[in-house]
C-alpha cells in the first residue's frame, strides 16, 4: 500500500515534491523490456558497457564513472525483469519490489527481537511503521534494496557470531556489501569500519565502546591520509565532488544554501554543525513548501521528542551493547556523509530514512513504557480532578 501511494505521489505531485525519479526509472525499465524482445544481445551485454575512458577506475566519481551509472543501470535491469511478469504495469511491479525489499526490515526485526527479548510488539511497530522509512523504502527506488543489503549484513554478523559462522553467513555479509556497492557505493566505505569494529569488540566485550572509539579514530585518520597512500584514495575530495555534483543540480523548492566543503580536516570540522543540522533537525517549519516536507518536518520533531523521552525513561538491562554501538556508529557515519554532501532537503529525507530504524528501534525497546504510561495516567487524573 505504501509503495502504491509512493507511485501515486510521483504521478500527481512529482515535480513539486521531487518524486519524478520513480517514474523515470519505470520508463527506462520499459525501454529495457522492449530491448529484450528486439535485441537480446544488446540487452544482456549493455550492463558491461563503459563509455568513459577512465570510468572503471573512477569508483567514487559522480560523473564519467561506470560505477556511478551502474546503480541506475542495475535497477532498471531489475525492473525490466519485473516487466516480463507484469506486462509493464508499474503498480504490479510494486508488489515484486516490495517482496524483495521486505526481507530487509524482517531481518532487522529478527535481530532486534533477539537483542531485546520480550519486547516484540514495540520492536515490530518501530521497525515497520515509522512513516518516512515505510514510505521511502516501499516505493520503487533504491532505498528498499539498500536497507535490505544493510540488514543482511547486520543479520548474518549477529546470528553468525551467536550460532557459529557458516558458509551462508559469509555469503549473506558479502551479498549485503555487494548490494550497497552496486546501488550506493560510498555506503561500503561507511559500513566496513563498523563491521571491523564490531568483530573486534566482540573479542573484548566489556570494552566495546572503547574499541569502537579507537578504531573509528584510526579510520578517521585513514580517511584524510589515504591520498598519501594512493591518489585514488582521496576520500575527502570524493565527498567534496559529491557536494559539488549536488550544488550544480537545478535548484528546487527544497534546496538550501550551505557552506561549501573543502578537502581539508579543518573544513570538515567546521562544516560538521551544518551537516548535523541538515540531517538531524531539518526540515524546519520555515522549510515546508509541500505535503511531503510538512510530513518530514512533523516527523523529525516527533523523533527528537522521542529521543528526549528515551533519555528520561530509559530502562537498563542486559543487551548486546556492541550490536547497539555498531548500529549507532553506522547511523552517525551515514548521517554525516549525507550532511556533508547534500543540500537538497527532499534528498536528505529520503537518504536518511535508511538509518531511522537503526536508531529508533533500540531506543523504543529500552524505554520503560509502563513508567511512562503511569506518569501520563497521573497527569491525566490530576487534570480531571482540577476540572472537577
Give the angle subtended at the CA of 149 by the CAs of 104 and 129, to the nearest 5°: 30
Q: What is the enclosing helix (H) or strand (E) of 254?
A: none
Answer whether residue 317 shows pLDDT above 80: no
Read off the pLDDT of residues 263-302 as tens digits, 9 standing for 90 and up.
999 999 999 999 999 999 999 998 888 778 888 999 999 9
| Residue 115, Cβ density class (10 Å: 0-12 exposed, 13-18 middle, ≥19 buried) | buried
Helix (H) or strand (E) holding 213: helix 208-229
CB atoms < 10 A from the CB of 153, how many? 25
Q: How far apart are CA 369 and CA 372, in angstroms?
A: 5
Separation of alpha carbons 239 and 14, rounded Å: 28
pTM (2 decimals)? 0.90
How many residues make up the chain in this entry?
388
Residue 269: phi and psi, rounded to 5, are: -65, -45
CA distance 41 to 232: 34
**Residue of 110, 197, 198 whose CA lies nearest to 151:** 110
Q: To 5 degrees, how large is the angle CA 245–CA 329–CA 165?
A: 115
| pLDDT of residue 233 exceeding 90 | no
What pLDDT, on a 0 to 100 scale, did the predictor assign at position 276? 94
What is the 8-class DSSP label of residue 347? H
Task: For residue range 148-192, list pLDDT tens digits in order.
Answer: 999 999 999 999 998 988 999 999 999 999 999 999 888 999 999
- Distance CA(116)–CA(110), nearest Å, equals 10
Alpha-carbon Rg of the chain, whole angstroms? 22
Residue 332 has pLDDT above 70, yes or no: yes
Residue 228, pLDDT > 90, answer: no
| CB-based burial label for 384 (10 Å; 0-12, 13-18, 19+) | exposed
Q: What percent of the chain has pLDDT over 70?
A: 92
All 3 cell numbers of residue 344?
537538497
Contacts 24+ apart (CB under 8 A), 211-215: 212/322, 212/325, 212/326, 212/329
Query: In what helix (H) or strand (E) does residue 299 lie, and over which residues does it extend?
Result: helix 291-312
SS3 306: helix
Task: Using pLDDT thresholds of 50, 70 and 90, give the confidence band for residue 80.
Answer: very high
Give one DSSP letter per residue of 238-281, joined into a string: HHHHHHHHHHTSPP-TTB---PPP-SSHHHHHHHHHHHHIIIII
- Which pLDDT score, from 0 to 100, does residue 99 have? 93
387 — pLDDT class (breaks 50, 70, 90) = low
pLDDT of residue 46: 87
Q: What's the pLDDT at 47? A: 85
- Please name the helix (run of DSSP H) or strand (run of DSSP E) that holds residue 77, with its range, or none: helix 66-86
Asked whether 350 and 21 are in contact (CB, 8 A), the reply is no
Question: Which helix (DSSP H) or strand (DSSP E) does residue 117 occupy?
Answer: none
248-to-67, 87, 164 alpha-carbon distances in Å: 20, 37, 49
Long-range pairs, 91-99, Cβ under 8 A, ≥24 = 91/4, 91/7, 93/26, 93/29, 93/140, 94/3, 94/4, 94/6, 94/7, 94/138, 94/139, 94/140, 95/3, 97/3, 97/140, 97/144, 98/3, 98/138, 98/144
pLDDT of residue 262: 92
Cβ neighbours of 318 (radius 10 Å): 8
Amino acid at each position: 500500500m505504501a509503495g502504491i501511494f509512493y507511485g501515486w505521489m510521483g504521478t500527481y505531485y512529482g515535480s513539486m515534491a521531487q518524486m519524478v525519479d520513480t517514474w523515470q526509472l519505470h520508463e527506462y525499465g520499459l525501454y529495457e523490456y522492449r530491448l529484450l524482445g528486439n535485441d537480446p544481445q544488446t540487452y544482456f551485454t549493455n550492463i558491461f558497457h563503459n563509455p568513459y575512458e577512465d570510468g572503471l577506475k573512477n569508483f567514487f566519481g559522480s560523473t564519467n564513472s561506470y560505477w556511478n551509472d551502474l546503480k541506475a543501470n542495475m535497477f532498471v535491469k531489475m525492473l525490466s525483469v519485473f516487466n516480463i511478469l507484469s506486462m509493464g504495469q508499474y503498480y504490479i511491479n510494486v508488489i515484486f519490489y516490495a517482496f524483495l525489499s521486505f526481507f530487509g526490515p524482517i531481518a532487522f526485526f529478527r535481530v532486534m527481537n533477539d537483542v531485546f527479548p520480550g519486547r516484540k510488539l514495540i520492536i515490530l511497530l518501530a521497525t515497520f511503521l515509522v512513516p518516512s522509512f515505510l514510505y521511502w523504502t516501499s516505493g520503487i527506488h533504491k532505498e528498499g534494496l539498500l536497507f535490505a543489503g544493510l540488514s543482511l549484513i547486520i543479520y548474518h554478523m549477529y546470528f553468525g557470531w551467536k550460532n557459529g559462522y557458516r558458509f551462508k553467513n559469509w555469503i549473506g555479509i558479502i551479498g549485503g556489501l555487494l548490494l550497497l556497492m552496486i546501488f550506493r557505493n560510498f555506503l561500503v566505505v561507511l559500513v566496513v569500519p563498523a563491521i571491523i569494529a564490531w568483530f573486534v569488540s566482540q573479542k573484548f566485550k566489556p570494552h566495546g565502546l572503547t574499541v569502537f572509539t579507537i578504531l573509528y579514530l584510526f579510520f578517521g585518520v585513514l580517511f584524510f591520509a589515504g591520498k598519501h597512500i594512493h591518489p585514488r584514495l582521496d576520500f575527502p575530495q570524493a565527498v567534496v565532488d559529491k557536494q559539488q555534483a549536488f550544488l550544480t543540480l537545478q535548484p528546487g523548492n527544497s534546496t538550501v544554501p550551505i557552506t561549501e566543503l573543502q578537502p581539508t580536516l579543518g573544513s570538515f570540522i567546521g562544516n560538521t554543525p551544518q551537516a548535523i543540522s541538515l540531517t538531524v533537525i531539518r526540515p524546519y517549519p520555515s522549510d515546508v513548501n509541500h505535503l511531503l516536507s510538512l510530513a518530514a518536518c512533523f516527523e523529525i520533531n516527533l523523533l527528537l521528542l522521542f529521543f528526549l523521552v528515551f533519555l528520561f525513561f530509559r530502562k537498563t538491562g542486559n543487551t548486546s551493547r556492541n550490536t547497539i554501538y555498531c548500529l549507532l556508529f553506522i547511523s552517525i557515519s551515514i548521517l554525516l556523509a549525507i550532511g556533508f554532501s547534500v543540500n537538497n532537503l527532499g534528498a536528505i529525507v529520503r537518504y536518511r530514512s535508511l538509518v531511522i530504524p537503526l536508531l529508533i528501534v533500540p531506543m523504543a525497546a529500552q524505554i520503560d513504557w509502563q513508567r511512562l504510561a503511569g506518569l501520563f495516567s497521573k497527569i491525566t487524573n490530576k487534570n480531571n480532578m482540577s476540572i472537577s
